[in-house]
């Protein structure tokens, strides 16, 4: 009876809220309108709370109740393998948590309308999906499994919690274990699985290269170039035509080198350096890609579509065809090449006192590697010095100027992250045989310093010319995240000075200097980086927080980044008589979308690169099951702690429910502490671990920790990772 009465009250309220003349009211106003006695107002409140919980009504920030879409917000849904999700709403500081029962059939990346249903102190707001506005994913990459009467695809993307049902007639003959691309034909209703058809069989999970290719397909990264692009490329010559050199500054007799990794093939920057008295003259010469990639051509459109080259563990997917990126646009030694150059005069304090931007023709004397230059400058290797004897004086001058520029950036507060990147070596079958940290050396720092200076110089020049341009921006961090970061470092015994809830980059730089070489170094650096906003491309000059620079752009890699190619086009047009009003209007019109596209494709490439690295790290550790390693505690959560090995591999030491009686998680101190023995594990502690599990489906590497006496530090329980199998599908279909 009581339930019936509650349902009737709900219906009454829903009818009222749906009436066109109803205006949202606070609860006090509703009580007066509905003539609810004071002693029964709590009953009304409970009914309203239930309707909010069901997502049938909504509540404004000012406490007014209305129909479900009255105060709806639109955002992008981010799924989770456990069924719940979060919605990112532009302009909101926090994402909105969506419980599993209230996703409204939304899938990862869908644009959805939501209503906020509540928020507890210190936690994310909670809401319900009331409508899927636009589907974000139309095809899925996963592993095909066949049942007697149908097939299904288990998505590789862990943020998709439902498998895709595939009728056998739509399976292209796929068999168990095939990696496939499936096009979604129905998104499912009433808790039914989505349905789809197989459009491509990538290969079997055990075939070499299938794993990486699956990631490429999942991120929809184009590999093959369209026919019209290759047709345009076929008309481009192998060598620089003499007539193309007309009107250019001839720098072919300048001592010039490229310095890159040993396996680099797209060499897009070359360096010249001399010194006269107290002045350095630094030339940063960048391949003139726009000479061949003309605006609006098939090549240009395809380059914009790709946005960037993608550097995966076993391959490079270039932005431009190899005939350009490894050929006529690559600054190979001993041949003439067209370039766009920034030639800077620099004083002994690192100030650019004069500069010139011009079209040039260059000829590189030697193709140097970072390793060779390091041997010359850091190792004083006699054999290497004899091999490049004529260049050694210039390399020493480079080291000298690099140190000056680096100190100048340090003095103004630029943040210099020095994370060891992973270098993963594969055999001919794509199996990882070694993982080691790839660290910067004197040669990589030289090139980095010179490229940064050229980028800043170009950006400042074009900012003051007030012409349309593409800038690389890195905005100030979110205040809330900076406060959280300050709390985090305070708990580790360090301090940061804040002013008006903001931290100057110089304070962050001082912290990095202080922690250098400590056990917390890598951890604090990563947390600091996560506390900042992501750099992006923008048509407005908003400065670069991390570099503590007022002006910054990307000028130095037009072979592999579209923004660089775009500003080369603007610079060259400006050099040849300036931009007309018509061309200014044209660039003002296209640059906002160019920036958005370039930022999105950059993010896609970064995610794909991280995904392939993670995959190969898991495959590598699978070969080392039950082996013992030394590592450092890199993260502590209420479900366990992460440990990072010297080779950059990170694994999870899982704390299960049965351990509640043994260990306590102290969030404010970032430690795990044993209740009986008082043993503590802090961030940065060195620990001994054993590899006990690798789950490629769940993307996890699992460790157990041994204490100083060689005993297991935590109780353990048997766990099973996500398995490919029927689960509930067959009974669901029946």
Q: Mind listing the pLDDT tens digit for each residue in 598-616?
A: 999 999 999 999 999 999 9
Which pLDDT belongs to residue 730?
32
346-359: average pLDDT: 97
CA dihedral 273, 274, 275, 281 (to 10 degrees): -60
For the chain, what percent of residues have pLDDT higher than 90?
A: 56
The size of the chain, in residues, is 734
Residue 713 pLDDT class (50, 70, 90 cuts): confident
* Angstrom distance (rounded) from CA 191 to CA 184: 16
Handedness of CA 536, 541, 545, 549 (dihedral sign): positive
* Angstrom distance (rounded) from CA 213 to CA 569: 34
Q: 3-state DSSP: the chain helix, strand, coil percent, rounded to 5?
A: 35, 30, 40
pLDDT at 666 exceeding the cut of 60: no
504 in Cβ contact with 543 (< 8 Å): no
User: What are the tokens at 410?
Assistant: 């340090």
b/e sequence 680-710, b meaning 16+ C-beta within 10 Å: ebbbbbebbbbbbbbbbeebbbbbbbbeeee
**Residue, of 651 and 36, whose pLDDT is higher:** 651
Which pLDDT belongs to residue 718?
43
For residue 404, give Cα distances in angstroms to 397, 409, 440, 671.
Answer: 11, 9, 18, 41
CA dihedral 104, 600, 590, 561 (to 10 degrees): -170
Answer CATH for 624-706 from 2.40.50.140, 1.20.1250.20, 3.40.50.300, 1.10.8.100: 2.40.50.140
Distance of CA 328 to the CA centre of its chain: 31
User: What are the tokens at 550?
Assistant: 């007022």
Residue 325 has what DSSP assignment?
Answer: I
Which pLDDT belongs to residue 725?
33
* Angstrom distance (rounded) from CA 264 to CA 248: 27
Which pLDDT belongs to residue 147?
86
Which pLDDT belongs to residue 733?
31
Among 610, 652, 613, 611, smallest CA distance to 631 is for: 652
Topology given in CATH for the domain delimited by 1-71: Arc Repressor Mutant, subunit A (1.10.10)
Give 207-243 pLDDT, tens digit per residue: 988 999 999 999 999 999 999 999 999 999 999 988 9
Classify 235 as helix, strand or coil.
coil
Which pLDDT belongs to residue 720?
38
Radius of gyration (C-alpha) of the chain in whole angstroms: 30
Among 436, 415, 416, 440, smallest CA distance to 425 is for: 436
pLDDT at 70 exceeding the cut of 80: no
User: What are the tokens at 428?
Assistant: 């001919």
521-538: average pLDDT: 86
589's enclosing H/E stretch is helix 581-622
Among 671, 668, 672, 685, smallest CA distance to 487 is for: 668
Which pLDDT belongs to residue 178?
95
Distance of CA 120 to the CA centre of its chain: 30
* Angstrom distance (rounded) from CA 55 to CA 14: 12
98 in Cβ contact with 129 (< 8 Å): yes
pLDDT at 140 exceeding the cut of 90: yes
539 in Cβ contact with 553 (< 8 Å): no
442-469: average pLDDT: 97
Average model confidence (pLDDT) across the chain? 88
Which pLDDT belongs to residue 721?
35
Classify 576 as helix, strand or coil.
coil
Residue 731 pLDDT class (50, 70, 90 cuts): very low
CA atoms within 13 A on the CB side of 102: 22
Which pLDDT belongs to residue 734?
29
pLDDT at 458 exceeding the cut of 60: yes
Which pLDDT belongs to residue 26?
87
CATH 3.30.465.10 fits 139-207, yes or no: no
Among 658, 674, 656, smallest CA distance to 666 is for: 674
* Angstrom distance (rounded) from CA 356 to CA 344: 7
For the chain, what percent of residues have pLDDT higher than 70?
A: 93
584-592: average pLDDT: 97
Give 252-280 pLDDT, tens digit per residue: 999 999 999 888 888 999 999 999 999 99
* Angstrom distance (rounded) from CA 723 to CA 658: 23
CA angle 438, 409, 517 (to 5 degrees): 45
* Angstrom distance (rounded) from CA 528 to CA 546: 11
Which pLDDT belongs to residue 163?
92
Residue 661 pLDDT class (50, 70, 90 cuts): low
């Amino acid at each position: 009876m009581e339930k019936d009465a509650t349902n009737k009250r709900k219906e009454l309220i829903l009818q009222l809220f749906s009436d066109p003349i109803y205006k949202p009211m606070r609860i006090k106003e509703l009580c007066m309108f509905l003539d609810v006695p004071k002693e029964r107002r709590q009953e009304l409140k409970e009914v309203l709370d239930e309707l909010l919980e069901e997502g049938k009504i909504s509540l404004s920030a000012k406490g007014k109740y209305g129909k479900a879409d009255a105060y709806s917000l639109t955002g992008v849904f981010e799924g989770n393998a456990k069924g719940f999700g979060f919605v990112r709403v532009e302009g909101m500081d926090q994402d909105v948590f969506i419980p599993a029962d209230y996703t409204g059939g939304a899938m990862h990346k869908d644009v959805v309308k939501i209503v906020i249903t509540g928020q507890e102190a210190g936690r994310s707001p909670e809401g319900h999906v009331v409508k899927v506005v636009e589907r974000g994913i139309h095809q899925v990459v996963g592993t095909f499994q066949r049942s007697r009467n149908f097939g299904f695809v288990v998505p590789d993307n862990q943020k998709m919690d439902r498998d895709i049902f595939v009728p056998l007639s739509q399976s292209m003959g796929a068999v168990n274990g095939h990696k496939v691309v499936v096009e979604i034909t129905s998104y499912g209703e009433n808790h039914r699985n989505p349905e789809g058809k197989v459009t491509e069989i990538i290969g079997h999970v055990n075939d070499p290269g299938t794993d990486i290719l699956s990631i490429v397909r999942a991120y929809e990264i184009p590999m093959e170039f369209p026919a019209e692009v290759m047709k345009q490329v076929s008309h481009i010559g192998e060598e620089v035509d003499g007539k193309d050199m007309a009107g250019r500054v001839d720098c072919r007799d300048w001592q010039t080198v490229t310095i890159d990794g040993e396996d680099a093939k797209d060499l897009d920057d070359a360096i010249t350096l001399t010194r006269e008295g107290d002045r350095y003259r630094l030339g940063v010469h960048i391949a003139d890609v726009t000479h061949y990639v003309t605006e609006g051509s098939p090549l240009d459109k395809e380059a914009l579509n790709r946005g960037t080259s993608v550097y995966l563990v076993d391959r490079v997917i270039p932005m431009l065809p190899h005939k350009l990126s490894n050929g006529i646009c690559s600054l190979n030694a001993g041949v003439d090449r067209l370039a766009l150059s920034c030639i800077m005069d620099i004083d002994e304090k690192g100030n650019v006192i004069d500069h010139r931007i011009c079209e040039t023709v260059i000829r590189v004397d030697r193709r140097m590697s970072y390793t060779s230059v390091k041997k010359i400058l850091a190792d004083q290797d006699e054999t290497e010095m004899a091999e490049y004897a004529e260049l050694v004086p210039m390399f020493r001058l480079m080291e000298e100027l690099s140190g000056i520029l680096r100190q100048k950036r340090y003095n103004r507060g630029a943040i210099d992250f020095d994370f060891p990147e992973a270098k993963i070596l594969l055999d001919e079958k794509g199996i990882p045989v070694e993982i080691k940290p790839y660290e910067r050396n004197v040669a990589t720092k030289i090139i980095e310093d010179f490229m940064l200076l050229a980028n800043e110089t170009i950006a400042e020049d074009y900012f003051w010319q007030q012409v349309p341009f593409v800038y690389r921006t890195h905005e100030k961090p979110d205040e809330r995240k900076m406060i959280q970061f300050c709390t985090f470092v305070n708990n580790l015994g360090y301090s940061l000075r804040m002013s008006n809830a903001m931290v100057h980059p110089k304070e962050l730089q001082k912290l990095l200097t202080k922690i250098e070489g400590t056990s917390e170094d890598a951890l604090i650096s990563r947390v600091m980086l996560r506390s900042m906003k992501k750099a992006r491309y923008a048509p407005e000059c908003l400065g670069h927080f991390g570099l503590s620079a007022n002006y910054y752009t990307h000028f130095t890699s037009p072979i592999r980044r579209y923004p660089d190619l775009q500003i080369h086009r603007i610079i060259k047009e400006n050099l040849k008589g300036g931009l007309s009003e018509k061309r200014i209007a044209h660039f003002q019109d296209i640059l906002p979308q160019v920036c958005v596209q370039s930022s999105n494709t950059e993010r896609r490439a970064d995610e794909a690169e991280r995904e392939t690295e993670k995959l190969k790290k898991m495959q590598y550790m699978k070969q080392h099951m039950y082996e013992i390693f030394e590592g450092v505690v890199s993260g502590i959560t209420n479900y366990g702690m992460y440990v990072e090995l010297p080779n950059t591999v990170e694994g999870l030491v899982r704390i299960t429910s049965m351990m509640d009686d043994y260990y306590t998680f102290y969030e404010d101190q970032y430690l795990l502490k044993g209740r009986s023995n008082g043993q503590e594990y802090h961030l940065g502690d060195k620990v001994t671990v054993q590899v006990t599990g690798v789950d490629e489906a769940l993307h996890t590497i699992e460790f157990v920790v041994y204490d100083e006496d060689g005993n297991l530090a935590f109780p353990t329980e048997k766990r099973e990772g996500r398995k490919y199998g029927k689960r509930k599908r067959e009974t669901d279909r029946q």
